[in-house]
Amino acid sequence: MSELLERLEQRLRDSDAMQVATLVLAALVVTLAAVWPTPGSGSNESWYAFAQMRSVVLALLALGFGASAAAEPPRRAFATALMVMVVAVLALPLEVAAYAASYPATPLWWSLVSVPVAAAGYLVLGAGLGRLARFVRMGAFLPLLVPATVAGLLVLDVQLGWTILNPLTAALVVSPWYLLTMTVLGLAGLLWLAFAWRRGHGKEARA
């Protein structure tokens, strides 16, 4: 556990992680400030726009780092995944503030549960995207493939009529299918990383 926390701390100190985390949180703060109503302008419905922005931004974050983690050693990939989860959790106080001011019909527990679970699911989807892109020798196009994947997920769910992978709709509506899909993806990724971590540790011990 101490080794895992040490690797997470090192990953959070990496320039790419620090810059992206700062950019994501700053974008969410600016979004909340932009949608927050001025005094006397009527009811506060800032949560709706903020929740959708948060959902899409965190999906892009998780897909992007998941795609890059697919090319990393298992231990660094594990640290990368944990770093993304930390950023997702850091966004929750802003979510709660917007929720408390807006009183939406969507229950608060949905945001508290779906944010970390969705981050884990999109990390695994990103890892699959990264592996596929490198297999077909399109790794250099990942900066374009990540947002294209999010757009594709939006279109797919609209065509199906269900909320399974769509971060935009899932931000506002409780969807058991979305929660189930992201949970299964997240658990599959966690099991694979745990197995790869232990295998790497065993190789180091034998060496």
Provide the residue range defining the domain that includes 146: 2-206
pLDDT at position 204 is 46
46, pLDDT greater than 50? yes
pLDDT at position 207 is 46
What is the DSSP code (8-state) at residue 41? S
Judging by beta carbons within 10 Å of its beta carbon (0-12, 13-18, 19+), is residue 103 exposed, middle or buried?
exposed
Q: Evaluate if pTM is beyond 0.85.
A: yes
In whole angstroms, give the CA distance from residue 132 to residue 162.
Answer: 26
pLDDT in tens, 149-189: 999 999 988 888 888 999 999 999 999 999 999 999 999 98
Let me know the angle formed at the C-alpha of 106 by 91 and 185, rounded to the nearest 5 degrees: 60
Q: Count CB neighbours of 109 within 10 A.
A: 9
Structurally, the chain folds into a number of domains equal to 1
